[in-house]
C-alpha cells in the first residue's frame, strides 16, 4: 500500500468513526430520558454561553496589556503542565483498543499513524481553541489578535504532547530495568522539598506578596506574579506577544514565529524514530480496561491490591455484625486498592488549605473563615473525586440486595467509610490551618463536627440519584449533552436539599438569639437542637436511599 493509499484508508476510517458517533447520539435521543436530559444539557450550555456573551450588557472588562500578559502566561503554563502530565500517562501512541491491532497489522507507516492521531487531536483542540479564544479575546484590547494567539497555542500543545509521549516512551523502553530499581517515591518527595526550599529561599516564590488585583482573579494573579512562575512561563513569550498585540506591526512577527513552530512540530513529530508499538498496546489495553470498569460501575481509579497492601489489616470500625461487615468490606477497598485516590485527596486538601490562607485576610477570625472555606470546598471536591460507594459497585448491586440486611442499613453502611475518609481529610486540613494561624478557636470544633453530616448528606443524595438512574462512562464524548443535563439536575437537587437542611439546622439558634437568651444558652441550645435536626434529616435521606435501593432491578438497570 502506497503512502497515498494509506492516507485515504485512514481518512475513510475517520469518516466512519464520525458517522458512528452521530448514530450513537441519535440512538440516545430516541429514548424519552435521553432526549429530556439532552435538551436540558443543551439549554444549560446555551444559557451559559448566552450569559458569557451578554453578561452585564456592556461586555467584560478589557484588561490592560500587562495584566492580560500575566493571565495569558499563567494560563498557558497551566495547560502545558496538564499536557506534560498526560504525556507521562499516555505513553507511545494511543489508539483505541478496537482498532489498534488492525492498524498495526495494516501496511501503514508509523508516520501515517501518528498523523492520523494528530488530526483527531487537532480537531478537538480546534473546538476548544475556538471557545477559549473567543472568551479570552473579549477581555483583550485587540480581540482578533488575542483569539489568533490563543488558538495557535492550543493547536500547538497536542503536537508537543504527542512528541513527549513518544520520547518518554522510548526512554522508558531503554531504561526501564534500571529505573525500576530506584526509590521513586522518596526521590519525588526529596525533589519537591528541595524545589520548594530553593524557590522560597532564592526569592522565586514570594509568600508575603500581596495580590494586586481584586475580585475572583486575585488568587490566580497572586500565583502568576511569582518570579518562579514567571520564569517557567518564559517559553510562552511568542504566544503571549500575539495575544497582547495592539497593532499589526507587533502581531505578525511573533505570530509567524508561532506558525513556524507549529509547522516544525507537525513535520518533526511523525518522523521521531521510536518503535512505539509495544507501549501503545499497553496504553490502549490500560485505557480500555479502565473504561470497561467504569461502564460496569467499578471505580476506574481503584486497581488491584498490591502485594504489600494485601496484608494490611482493616479495623472493624462499625462492629462485627452484618452492618459492620458491609462497612468493613468497603473500608478494605479504600485501604488496599486506592493509593491514587489518597494522593488525589491529599492534593485537594493541600490546594484548598493554600487557597484559604491566601484568600482570607489575617485577623482574629481568619482561622474560622479559612476553616469554613476548607470545609465547603473540601466537601465539594473530595466528594466529587472520591467515589467509594455504590457508584463503584453498580455491577454488584443486585448481589448486595440479596443480603439479609435492611436496605437502609445496607445504604448507610456502604456510605460510612467514604464519609469517614472525607471527614478525616477535611479535619486534618482544618488542624493544619489552625496551626498556621496559631488559633485555638472553639468554633473550629463545630465546623469539624458539622462536616460528617454534610458529607453524608452529599453522598446520600448522589448515590440515591445514581441508583434511581445509573450512568455509565463511555468512550470519547458519547452522551455529552445527556451528562450535562444529568449534572444540572443533580446540582439542583443537591443544592436545594443541602440548603434546606442547613436552614432548618440553623433555625433553633436564630430563635434562641431572637429571644435574647444568654449567649451560652443560645449557642449551646442551638448546637444541640441543630445537631438533632441534622440527625433527623440524615435519617430521612438514608431512608429514601434505602427505598431507591429496594426498587433497584438489576436486569432492568444493567446493560
- Model pTM score: 0.69
Half-sphere exposure of 130 (CA within 13 A, CB side): 6
The percent of residues in the chain predicted with pLDDT above 70, rounded, is 77
Q: What is the pLDDT of residue 266?
A: 95
pLDDT digits (tens, 9 = 90+) for 289-306: 777 666 655 554 455 555
Mean pLDDT of the chain: 79
Task: Compare 98 and 549 and report the one with higher pLDDT.
Answer: 549
Max distance between CA atoms of the chain, in angstroms, equals 89
Signed CA dihedral, 149, 155, 158, 159: sign only: negative
Q: What is the pLDDT of residue 58?
A: 45
Among 344, 357, 380, 384, CA closest to 498 = 380
Q: What is the pLDDT of residue 114?
A: 92
Helix (H, G, I), strand (E, B) or coil at 202: coil
Q: What is the pLDDT of residue 288?
A: 77
Signed CA dihedral, 230, 234, 235, 241: sign only: positive
The radius of gyration of the chain from alpha carbons, rounded to an integer in Å, stands at: 27
CB 444 within 8 A of CB 430: yes
Range with the poorest average pLDDT among 21-30, 102-111, 168-177, 491-500: 168-177
pLDDT above 50: residue 71: yes
- φ and ψ of 241, to 5 deg: -60, -40
pLDDT above 60: residue 252: yes
Range with the poorest average pLDDT among 68-77, 216-225, 406-415: 216-225
Signed CA dihedral, 43, 44, 49, 50: sign only: positive
d(CA 171, CA 162): 14
Given pLDDT bands bounded at 50, 70 and 90, which one contains residue 33?
low
d(CA 106, CA 13): 13
Q: What is the pLDDT of residue 525?
A: 81
- Tell me the residue length of the chain: 559
Given pLDDT bands bounded at 50, 70 and 90, which one contains residue 139?
confident
Q: What is the pLDDT of residue 238?
A: 94
pLDDT digits (tens, 9 = 90+) for 179-237: 555 565 566 556 656 655 555 554 444 544 444 444 445 555 666 667 777 778 889 99
Half-sphere exposure of 438 (CA within 13 A, CB side): 3
pLDDT above 90: residue 86: no
d(CA 287, CA 97): 8
- For 492-511, the DSSP string reads HHHHHHHHHHHHHHHHHHHH
Of 253-257, 281-285, 450-454, which has the strongest mean pLDDT? 253-257
Q: What is the pLDDT of residue 153?
A: 93
Q: What is the pLDDT of residue 267?
A: 94
Q: What is the pLDDT of residue 215?
A: 43
Range with the poorest average pLDDT among 17-21, 452-456, 457-461: 17-21
Helix (H, G, I), strand (E, B) or coil at 298: strand
Given pLDDT bands bounded at 50, 70 and 90, which one contains residue 552?
confident
The mean pLDDT of 240-263, rounded to a whole number, is 94
Q: What is the pLDDT of residue 68?
A: 84
d(CA 388, CA 9): 44
CB 31 within 8 A of CB 485: no
Strands (E), 65-211: none
Q: What is the pLDDT of residue 181?
A: 56
Task: Compare 53 and 131 and report the one with higher pLDDT.
Answer: 131
∠ at Cα 225 (52, 156), nearest 5°? 60
CA distance readout (Å), 115 to 46, 94, 213, 287: 34, 12, 43, 21
Signed CA dihedral, 87, 88, 89, 92: sign only: positive
Domain regions of the chain by residue span: 60-175+185-287, 324-557
pLDDT above 60: residue 356: yes
pLDDT above 60: residue 398: yes
Hey, what's the cell of 411?
A: 445504604
pLDDT above 80: residue 92: yes
The mean pLDDT of 442-460, rounded to a whole number, is 90
Of 2-11, 117-126, 387-396, which has the strongest mean pLDDT? 117-126
Helix (H, G, I), strand (E, B) or coil at 280: helix
Amino acid at each position: 500500500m502506497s503512502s497515498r493509499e494509506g492516507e485515504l484508508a485512514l481518512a475513510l476510517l475517520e469518516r466512519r468513526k464520525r458517522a458512528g458517533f452521530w448514530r450513537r447520539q441519535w440512538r440516545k435521543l430516541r429514548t424519552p430520558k435521553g432526549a429530556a436530559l439532552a435538551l436540558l444539557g443543551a439549554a444549560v450550555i446555551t444559557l451559559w454561553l448566552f450569559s458569557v456573551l451578554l453578561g452585564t450588557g456592556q461586555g467584560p472588562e478589557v484588561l490592560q496589556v500587562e495584566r492580560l500578559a500575566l493571565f495569558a502566561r499563567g494560563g498557558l503554563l497551566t495547560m502545558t503542565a496538564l499536557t506534560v502530565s498526560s504525556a507521562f500517562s499516555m505513553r507511545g501512541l494511543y489508539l483505541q483498543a478496537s482498532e489498534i491491532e488492525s492498524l498495526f497489522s495494516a501496511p501503514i507507516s508509523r508516520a501515517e499513524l501518528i498523523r492520523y492521531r494528530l488530526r483527531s487531536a487537532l480537531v478537538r483542540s480546534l473546538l476548544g481553541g475556538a471557545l477559549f479564544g473567543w472568551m479570552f479575546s473579549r477581555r483583550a484590547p485587540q480581540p482578533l489578535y488575542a483569539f489568533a494567539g490563543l488558538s495557535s497555542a492550543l493547536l500547538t500543545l497536542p503536537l508537543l504532547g504527542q512528541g513527549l509521549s513518544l520520547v518518554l516512551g522510548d526512554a522508558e523502553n531503554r531504561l526501564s530495568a534500571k529505573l525500576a530499581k530506584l526509590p521513586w517515591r522518596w526521590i519525588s518527595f526529596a525533589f519537591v522539598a528541595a524545589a520548594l526550599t530553593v524557590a522560597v529561599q532564592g526569592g522565586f516564590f514570594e509568600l508575603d506578596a500581596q495580590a494586586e488585583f481584586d475580585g475572583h482573579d486575585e488568587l490566580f494573579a497572586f500565583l502568576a506574579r511569582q518570579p518562579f512562575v514567571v520564569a517557567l512561563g518564559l517559553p510562552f513569550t511568542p504566544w503571549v506577544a500575539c495575544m497582547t498585540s495592539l497593532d499589526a506591526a507587533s502581531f505578525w512577527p511573533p505570530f509567524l514565529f508561532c506558525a513556524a513552530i507549529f509547522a516544525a512540530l507537525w513535520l518533526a513529530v511523525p518522523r521521531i524514530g521510536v518503535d512505539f508499538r509495544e507501549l501503545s498496546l499497553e496504553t490502549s489495553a490500560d485505557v480500555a480496561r479502565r473504561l470497561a470498569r467504569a461502564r460496569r460501575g467499578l471505580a476506574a481509579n481503584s486497581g488491584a491490591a498490591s502485594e504489600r497492601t494485601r496484608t494490611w489489616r482493616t479495623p472493624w470500625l462499625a462492629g462485627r455484625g452484618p452492618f459492620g461487615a458491609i462497612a468493613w468490606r468497603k473500608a478494605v477497598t479504600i485501604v488496599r486498592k486506592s493509593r491514587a485516590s489518597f494522593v488525589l485527596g491529599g492534593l485537594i486538601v493541600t490546594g484548598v488549605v493554600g487557597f484559604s490562607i491566601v484568600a482570607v485576610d489575617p485577623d482574629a477570625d481568619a482561622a474560622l473563615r479559612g476553616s469554613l472555606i476548607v470545609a465547603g470546598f473540601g466537601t465539594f471536591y473530595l466528594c466529587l473525586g472520591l467515589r467509594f460507594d455504590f457508584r463503584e459497585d453498580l455491577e454488584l448491586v443486585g448481589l448486595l440486595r440479596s443480603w439479609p440486611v435492611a436496605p437502609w442499613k445496607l445504604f448507610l453502611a456502604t456510605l460510612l467509610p467514604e464519609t469517614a475518609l472525607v471527614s478525616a481529610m477535611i479535619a486534618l486540613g482544618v488542624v493544619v490551618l489552625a496551626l498556621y494561624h496559631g488559633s485555638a478557636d472553639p468554633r473550629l470544633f463545630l465546623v469539624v463536627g458539622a462536616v460528617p453530616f454534610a458529607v453524608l448528606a452529599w453522598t446520600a443524595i448522589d448515590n440515591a440519584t445514581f441508583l434511581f438512574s445509573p450512568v455509565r462512562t463511555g468512550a470519547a464524548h458519547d452522551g455529552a449533552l445527556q451528562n450535562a443535563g444529568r449534572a444540572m439536575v443533580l446540582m439542583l437537587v443537591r443544592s436545594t436539599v443541602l440548603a434546606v437542611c442547613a436552614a432548618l439546622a440553623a433555625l433553633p439558634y436564630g430563635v434562641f438569639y431572637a429571644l435574647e437568651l444568654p449567649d451560652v444558652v443560645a449557642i449551646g441550645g442551638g448546637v444541640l437542637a441543630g445537631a438533632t435536626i441534622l440527625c433527623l434529616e440524615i435519617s430521612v435521606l438514608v431512608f429514601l436511599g434505602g427505598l431507591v435501593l429496594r426498587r433497584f432491578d438489576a436486569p432492568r438497570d444493567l446493560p
